[in-house]
Structure 1
Amino acid sequence: MKDNKYPYFPDNFLWGGAQAASQADGAYKEDGKGLNSSDVQPYLKGLSNDKIQELETEGMTLAQVKENVKDTTDYFPKRFGIDFYHTYPEDIKLLADMGFKTFRTSLDWSRVFPNGDDAEPNKSALEHYDKMIDCMLSYGIEPIITMNHYETPINITIEYGGWPNRKVIPMFEKFGKTLLDCCQSN
């Protein structure tokens, strides 16, 4: 890209990468993070494609969600991800070394508002995301932020029944305003 190996792409083409916090961050017990909807999905070894499709279509019952919140023996891969929460400086440098100009990631709602309905945001989370975005910008990488990529705080499901409950809308609105206010102040 930098050495113009691919001359058929215009100079302003946005080479980039993408991930979601639910896939990559890990650090599910750190800095006050709450569990989210992805954190309660266990690894189910040996399932056929048909069974996986069935589970994705039917989803989990509320009882299964509550069981999985308490479960400390099964493996929940999205609780660990690739540890991007700690390795983002090195990972973002690798993206820059590859000539990436943009990077899409999400900011985990359950890290900023661990329960979703918290009165105040988690300051550690906001500081972390501020540093991560500054790191991208320092390498000339334009952040593209997704506000919710399967990271709804699990408390929203347990206490409010999830997105069908209209009480969730102002909670998400508060999350969005918090992110915008945080970004504008820096």
Structure 2
Amino acid sequence: MKYTFPNNFWWGAATSGPQSEGRFNKVNKNIFDYWFDNEPEKFHNGIGPNVASNFYHSYKEDIAMMKSIGLNSFRTSIQWTRLIKDFETCEVYEDGVNFYNSVINECIKNDIIPVINLNHFDLPIELYEKYNGWESKHVTDLFAKFAKKAFELFSDRVKYWATFNEPIVVLEGQYLYKHHYPQIVDGKKAVQAAYNLNLASAKAIREFRNMGCNKEGGKISIILNLTPSYPRSNSNEDLRAASIRDMFFNRIFLDPAVYGKFPEELVELLKNDGVIWESTEEEDRIINENTVDFLGVNYYQPSRAKAREEAFDESNGWMPDKYFEFYDMPGKKINTHRGWEIYPKAIYDISKNIKENYNNIPWYISENGMGVEGEEGFKNSEGIIEDNYRIEFIMDHLVWLHKGIEEGSNCFGYHLWTPIDCWSWNNSYKNRYGFISLNLDDQSKIIKKSGYWFKIVSDNNGF
């Protein structure tokens, strides 16, 4: 069967500034720079963000390689700590301005649509040390000032923006499950940070529209990793467990982004538990009035939930896990390298959910991908990695995405994570995701089999 996608469909890939650029000529530090400088042993093989994929130096060659494999769109992020010298006044680093101008211009020169995100977990350490980061309303104002500066500098050429990538991961990583610095466990702080991240996004969107960027063809989004929450069974208990998990890990950002308000049941639950965020009517109004134009959706794996069978451990205080447990479904297909379930049908379920429950807002797959360890073991005699598993993974997901589009969901693109193997927080380069392989020893880059395959898909607008 031939799967043909809508005209002008985005065939692309995504990365981020802190995961690709390296720290060259970057004086300010984000929380990961700081964490690596102080605890390098926490990072896989002791590899930090200092060099990453060397994009700071090789962006011209890298973007040319992206063009050669058929990418017509490319998402990356502007590092707050590279662009801005003084976070209060928003004085810029000229080197940062020049670099991002050059990247954007190089994309346009190669007929690649630049999609720019403003925050990819990379909070400046200074703002954490001074204000406790996203726990602070002041930091939401500083973020809006940073966003305004980025719009002033680049919106004449960048027409597709995102405020945040995966804000739920900030809660999971920093405040709940100790994946990211500062590795604290505090559910109440996580709830406040959730509100403030929504507020920061809305303030940035307000700046975007106040500046008239939307009148010049610009559109602004937020990028959410939506993990459909499937109940173990149809029992009332399991259905409620999955619903609460969905509200906290998906809808806490999805509903404010599209509708400007939080799920009422979630608000009541947090109030009853005594952990509701602090907010004002004015802040609620800002969130309500500044919703997104489109959505970026990152999808890797589903979530499966069941009613709690073991007593909740209250030693760490309130946690959303109080209401559900993870359900390990027997017989599931799994990526053994990453430990994640492979369930392509969820992309169809996401497409139906957006169509039926979120006004069929325009959206695209902003990340999807398969991380594999030890890929060098799949090289052929010509030195090319034959990643047939990645081709199969992408194809299986595109089949289900196509079905959702055929049934009317307003999806306009697919981006793989990632164009070139990139650095990944404290996992560093343990798992590789790219269309293009990176040799850490000499920074050489070679297109994988999946990259050649994707060029054919892009050229044919399907497969």
Whether TM-score is above 0.5 comes out as yes
TM-score for both structures, normalised by structure 1: 0.73
Who is 1:17 aligned against?
13
Who is 1:90 aligned against?
61
Does the 8 Å contact 1:35/1:114 carry over to 2? no
Who is 2:127 aligned against?
156
Q: Please state if 1:125 is matched with 2:111.
A: no
Q: Please state if 1:40 is matched with 2:11.
A: no
Q: How many Å separate the matches in 2 of 1:36 and 1:76?
A: 16
Query: How many residue pairs end up in the alignment?
Result: 152
Q: How many Å separate the matches in 2 of 1:8 and 1:185?
A: 32
User: Which structure features the higher share of strand residues?
Assistant: 2
Deviation readout 1:130-179 (Å, 9 max, x if unpaired): 11100000000001111000221111111211111111112111110000
Q: How many Å separate the matches in 2 of 1:10 and 1:167?
A: 43
Q: Please state if 1:8 is matched with 2:4.
A: yes
**Match runs of 1:57-136 below 5 Å:** 67-68=38-39, 75-114=46-85, 116-136=87-107
Gaps of 5+ in 2: 158-463
Change in CA separation of 1:119 and 1:142 when aligned onto 2, cut-off 3 Å: closer
Root mean square deviation, CA, Å: 2.4
Amino acid at match of 1:39: D
Q: How many Å separate the matches in 2 of 1:109 and 1:13?
A: 30
Q: How many Å separate the matches in 2 of 1:114 and 1:78?
A: 19
Q: How many Å separate the matches in 2 of 1:172 and 1:139?
A: 31
Structure with bigger gyration radius: 2
Q: How many Å separate the matches in 1 of 2:119 and 2:107?
A: 20
Amino acid at match of 2:18: S
Change in CA separation of 1:157 and 1:126 when aligned onto 2, cut-off 3 Å: same
Q: How many Å separate the matches in 2 of 1:7 and 1:166?
A: 47
Change in CA separation of 1:178 and 1:162 when aligned onto 2, cut-off 3 Å: same
The structure with higher relative contact order (CA 8 Å, sep 6+) is 1
